[in-house]
Amino acid sequence: MSSQDFVKLTLQLTTMLCVAFLCGQIMRRLKQPSVVGEMAGGIILGPTIFGVLAPALHGWLFLSSPDVAVVREALTKLGMLFFLFYAGLEVNLADLRRLGMRAILIGLVGTVLPIAAGVALVYAVPGEFWGPTVQRHYFAFALFIGMNLANSANPVLARILIDLGLLNGPIGTLIMCATVVDDLINWTLFAIILSDITPAAVPIGGSPWLSLTLVGLLLAVVLGVGRWLGPRLLERARPHTAWPGGLIAVTALLVMLAGSASEALGVHAFLGAFLVGVALSGGDARQREAHDVVGRFVMSFFAPIYFISMGMSANFIANFDLALVTLIFVVACVTKVGAVLLGAWTAGMPLDREAWAIGFGLNARGATGIILAGVGLAANVIDERLFVAIVIMALLTSLMSGPLMCHLLADRQPEPVRPVTPTLEVS
């Protein structure tokens, strides 16, 4: 990279971070997730507004150097590995085992039925409606739509439950455990979808059954072996390294190794990073403190740059399709809330205000939905028109979940809350 390219890269990152910070702070003052503001900042800074108002300046800053674009994309992807690692740390498998079938049923039914509904929707609507990009991998696209209808954003949910004072209570634990099932199913499915779209990434072939086997092997190694070996490895490293710097270095190595292994298997690197976070979740206070150091940097630098870059990746006016946006949003809300209510009823819960609150809470797609849409666009699973529709759905469902849960749970007594972590502040 030349000196001029480096200057341009730093100018790009400075501009993106400044706009993301200002827009995120505005949304936080309005008691909304800052990721909404960061996405809005990207729409302002991208081809939607800045590219129209000042095309020459926009082109010079963001489009004039392919080398800078490649470096920025690689930097952003590396940052998202650590974002998803930190999101994985929020997953508590011990809570899932303790709550047993109730959380599993809500998570399973609330995830599988919307996936099936998404596949049915794609095949029920004429293929021309979805655009030419999806025609070569139609079934994979149908699964992708189903996965986006089924997705829930646990960081957004955790932030809402903290505001309500219910995170440590029974309903908060139940909701967060249900998202564990949701995350594991959706990220596994996404890995299989990507291996079907880009089978050349898999060294030994692109069969769906082979992809499923590779994903299962990754889950078994990282969650099985990693859950047993990871904490022991960190404990052994503690006396021989500076603290918390030693833990940060070891976890960074594990995240990058797992991400590389995932990518080499034809599975997206994000899945490996997320699973490492799940495997290392819990731990003692010193370990959590060190992970928070990683989280604070990731949430203050990498995450805002990623989400503003998502807003910059498409023209949200030129690619806005009202019929498509309405269809995706309505079907997403109906299928997700309905499936969660069915799961709660199957688990023996009454369909009262608490059950409806769980349904509307799990309906939030948040940052996770935006990440999935961005990776889908980059992998040519969807085009820019579908990307815009899915991102708008993710933002709207996140905005509506908090007020609806507050209304439905207004009479609940708050539980003692634990400190807010950086992940929860940003997403």
> pLDDT digits over 292-307, tens only?
777 788 888 888 888 8
Separation of alpha carbons 118 and 100, rounded Å: 28
Whether 67 has a pLDDT exceeding 80, the answer reads yes
In a domain, 209, yes or no: yes
Residues 87 and 63 in one domain: no
pLDDT value of residue 200: 46
Residues 157 and 201 in one domain: yes
Residue that finishes a domain, picked among 70, 88, 104: 70
Residues 134 and 31 in one domain: no
Q: pLDDT-based confidence at 202, cuts 50/70/90?
A: very low
Residue-level length of the chain: 427
Residues 149 and 228 in one domain: yes
Residues 349 and 369 in one domain: yes
pLDDT value of residue 163: 62
The residues, ordered by sequence, that sit 6+ positions from 379 with a Cβ below 8 Å of its Cβ are 194, 197, 198
pLDDT value of residue 96: 61
Phi-psi region of 348 (alpha: psi -120 to 50; beta: other; left: phi over 0): left
pLDDT value of residue 398: 82
Looking at every residue in the chain, the average pLDDT score rounds to 80
In a domain, 75, yes or no: no
Choice between 43 and 158, residue whose per-residue pLDDT is larger: 43
Residues 412 and 378 in one domain: yes
Residues 151 and 294 in one domain: yes
Most confident residue range from 21-25, 367-371, 394-398, 411-415? 21-25
Residues 22 and 130 in one domain: no
User: Is-contact 167 417, C-beta < 8 A?
Assistant: yes
pLDDT value of residue 395: 86
pLDDT value of residue 417: 41
Q: Which domain holds residue 50?
A: 3-70
> Which phi and psi (to 5°) does residue 10 adopt?
-65, -35
Q: Distances in Å between the alpha carbon of 309 and those of 40, 42, 117, 301, 377?
A: 10, 6, 30, 12, 13
Whether 112 has a pLDDT exceeding 90, the answer reads yes
- Mean pLDDT value across residues 367-396: 87
Q: pLDDT-based confidence at 421, cuts 50/70/90?
A: very low
> Which phi and psi (to 5°) does residue 233 adopt?
-65, -45
Whether 281 has a pLDDT exceeding 50, the answer reads yes
In a domain, 158, yes or no: yes
pLDDT value of residue 109: 93
Separation of alpha carbons 146 and 9, rounded Å: 37
pLDDT value of residue 254: 84
Whether 369 has a pLDDT exceeding 60, the answer reads yes
Number of domains comprising the chain: 2
pLDDT value of residue 425: 44
pLDDT value of residue 115: 93
pLDDT value of residue 227: 75
Residues 52 and 91 in one domain: no
Separation of alpha carbons 384 and 204, rounded Å: 31
Residues 90 and 136 in one domain: yes
In a domain, 64, yes or no: yes
pLDDT value of residue 97: 65
Residues 36 and 147 in one domain: no
pLDDT in tens, 320-330: 999 999 999 99
Residues 114 and 232 in one domain: yes
Whether 205 has a pLDDT exceeding 50, the answer reads no
Choice between 73 and 180, residue whose per-residue pLDDT is larger: 73
Choice between 372 and 91, residue whose per-residue pLDDT is larger: 372
